[in-house]
Amino acid sequence: DQQVKQNSPSLSVQEGRISILNCDYTNSMFDYFLWYKKYPAEGPTFLISISSIKDKNEDGRFTVFLNKSAKHLSLHIVPSQPGDSAVYFCAAKNFGNEKLTFGTGTRLTIIP
């Protein structure tokens, strides 16, 4: 039972354009969401998070949007840079629960 889904295994975007990565979840108990970026041979690196009381959170070039009614979140990267090429994981948890539930990841490739 995949409670967090990233339906696009890969995405290619030209440098300087917007990258939009999508994530859907099925568990309505999730109330905190995170995005991690992973380079080969490294562990996932935390990027940005959002709690269910918000619908948007920004940090520099990264913005996460949450649509609770659709159980959907997205990560926007503007402008996209070559160093953004990595695998991006969406993760979710319940407040006060230790467990992070991850999606299967989206490989983002930024084309120079």
Positions that interact with other proteins (CB under 8 A):
4, 6, 32, 34, 36, 41-46, 49, 51, 89, 91, 93, 95-105
Which residue, 8 or 14, has its beta carbon nearer to other proteins? 8
User: Cβ closer to other proteins: 50 or 77?
Assistant: 50
Q: Is the Cα torsion angle 74, 60, 109, 4 positive or negative in sign? A: negative
CA 77 to chain centre: 10
Q: Is 30 exposed, middle or buried (0-12, 13-18, 19+ CB in 10 A)?
A: buried
Q: Which one, 46 or 82, has the nearer CB to other proteins?
A: 46
CB 12, min distance to other proteins, A: 19
